[in-house]
Amino acid sequence: MPAAGVTAQASMPDTPQQSAAVAAVGLDDPAKKEIAMKIVSSAENSSLDWRAQFKYIEDIDDGRGYTGGIIGFCSGTHDMLELVREYTKRKPGNVLAKYLPALERVDGSDSHEGLDPNYTKDWKTAAKDKVFQDAQEFERDRVYFNPAVNRAKQDGLRTLGQFAYYDAIVMHGDGGDATSFSSIRKRALAKAKPPAQGGDETAYLNAFLDARVWAMKQEEAHSDTSRVDTAQRVFLKNKNFDLNTPLSWKVYGDSFSIK
């Protein structure tokens, strides 16, 4: 799991105020999680309707092969392979199971070999299946959401900080490279202490978002940083640490709001 191997030490908050803040409703609260899914979907799919994205699949020419599903599982970055494995474990003989050998071969590349011409059509067929939908949510939580939220809570961050971690891990993954989530966090820790280490939450989140923007600019496909600049920065500037509604933000020039 992505959070494994994160070795930076973090003690839990030692002031009553910080402890109460972290003990309050977090991003794993169902209502807050729904907000998180909508904000990520606004950036990934230009829509708040994240459940409409189970069927989404296309090659967006970012070097990762096919991108599909609710958080952009990619055929070139292993998580799409893991998803189809999970689906097949739950439902052997499903419409995507026959593509497992091809997904194993193209893992780590942008190749469609063995997937074309019918993979995208079969993906959309699978997306009507509740078992596949559940597998997408399970893998999202296992690989991205739970590790990000748990790490943020250990760092003493409230809901906004938990979301900042989640959005970063969705885009960058948590491999060993310089732009991975763990590397972004390490860059932030070099600039500011998180609340769990006695630091100021605003200062730390600004340091984290600075590091995130740097990571995004290392890759042309991610060089538009509006999902940070005109979304998360806005929430932080408004000191909306609990991601309370109403929320208004912009991504790629499009305006979104949750009442």
Catalytically annotated residues:
44, 62
SS3 state at 220: helix
Q: Residue 57 forms beta bridges with which residues?
A: 68
| CA dist., res. 4 & res. 2, Å (int) | 5
| CA dist., res. 207 & res. 200, Å (int) | 11
Cα torsion 153, 54, 42, 110 to 10°: value is 90
Q: Residue 80 forms beta bridges with which residues?
A: none
CB burial string 45-57: b at 16+ within 10 A, e below:
beeeebeebbbbb
CA separation, residue 46 to residues 127, 145, 216, 219, 252 (Å): 19, 20, 18, 20, 9
Residue 242: φ, ψ to 5°? -100, 5
Q: Which of 33, 110, 31, 105 is nearest to 70 (CA)?
A: 33
Q: Which of 73, 76, 77, 101 is nearest to 88 (CA)?
A: 101
Q: Which of 253, 250, 173 is nearest to 215 (CA)?
A: 173
